[in-house]
Amino acid sequence: MQSQLPLYPEQASNFAPHVDSLMLFIIAVCLFFAVGITIAVVFLFFKYQRKTAGEIGVPIHGDMRLEISWIVIPFFLLMAMFGWGASIYIDYRHTPSGTLDIYVVGKQWMWRLQQPDGRREINELHVPVNRNIRLVMASEDVIHDFYVPAFRVKMDVVPGHYNTMWFRPTKPGRYHFFCSQYCGTSHAIMGGWVTVMEQDEYAAWLAGTSGTSDPVALGAKLYNELACSTCHQPDGKGRGPSYNGVYGAKVKLADGSTILADDAYIRESILQPTAKIVAGYQPVMPSFQGLVSEEQILALTAYIKAQKDEPVPGKPGAGEPATGKK
């Protein structure tokens, strides 16, 4: 978030204060022993330093009272940590009723998150503040892990298992989430942001009326958020055709026919991308059915329409084989 060095992560969930207090308790115990033993070692070492070359130490073989006390006292301290930790864990594993359920699917290397009303997001999660949220998580391939440091919670996302995790966000804001179980090449970028919103803002966001009202600007935002930009690059060198100059033009398709790029064609291309493939490109685009609302499709269309007057890049010509694509 900011690039200066933070001292502790933000506390933004019901668990965070508890985990932090327990951390402080263990740190205190550890400091006591670490400092105590270090002082003892340094003090004893120098106090009983060898004075003459042939000197030997006093033969002391041990002391039963000491042995028992340094077994028993640490034992009780350890049990305090254990008990405190277990109570937090039991709370964290025991989901209360009446949660807002979010369905989370991890796959190499992205997160798909779905709101209860079916609205889907990629690498973004919007949740209301002060509501108990439950994540129901599944993996499509390897083991991932959904980790929100500001909430102090994480849970593995295991193929073949449904794992659940709950938390109650306590502070509006944007917080990093990470994949924290190593999952292959792009593990490090398999993350995103949790946006904690006030409850009414969340409701507005769910209804799709939040934010900007200019459809072109909204479309431009979606173009980046939905990662259209990774394939549909303006210079036409991506895996999908450029939007430049497309709207209202005749587009040559892979089967040799041509079609007018109008609103209906664009809508169909977003929802059923494989229905009509532009000549020179492969049918690799996933369907966005359920991922975008009708309103968002309109915004995307408006954005594509706005690129009408941009220079049309050189693209793989109609009928020519595509180059550099598998």
Residues 41-80 touching another protein, rule: CB under 8 A, are 41, 44-46, 48-52, 54-63, 66-67, 70-71, 74-75, 78-79
- Between the CA of residue 67 and those of 71, 73, 162, what are the distances in Å? 6, 10, 47
Residues 105-134 touching another protein, rule: CB under 8 A, are 108
Residues 170-199 touching another protein, rule: CB under 8 A, are 176, 178-189
Cα–Cα dist 258/62, whole Å = 93
CB of 164 to another protein, least distance (A): 8
Q: Note whether 126 and 99 are within 8 A (CB).
A: no
Would you call 11 helix, strand, or coil by DSSP?
A: coil
CB of 60 to another protein, least distance (A): 6
Nearer to another protein, 81 or 259 (CB): 81
Contact between 230 and another protein by CB under 8 A: the answer reads no
Among 17, 87, 212, 230, which residue interacts with another protein (rule: CB under 8 A)? 87
User: Could you identify the residue written with the tokens 């350890």?
Assistant: 78
Helical (H) or strand (E) element with 195: strand 192-197
Alpha helix segments (H runs only) across 59-139: 64-93
Contact between 143 and another protein by CB under 8 A: the answer reads yes
Would you call 211 helix, strand, or coil by DSSP?
A: coil
CB of 13 to another protein, least distance (A): 11
Contact between 163 and another protein by CB under 8 A: the answer reads yes
Nearer to another protein, 81 or 318 (CB): 81
Residues 5-24 touching another protein, rule: CB under 8 A, are 5-6, 8-9, 15, 18-19, 22-23
Bridge-partner residues for 111, per DSSP?
106
Q: How many CB atoms lie under 10 A from the CB of residue 8?
A: 9
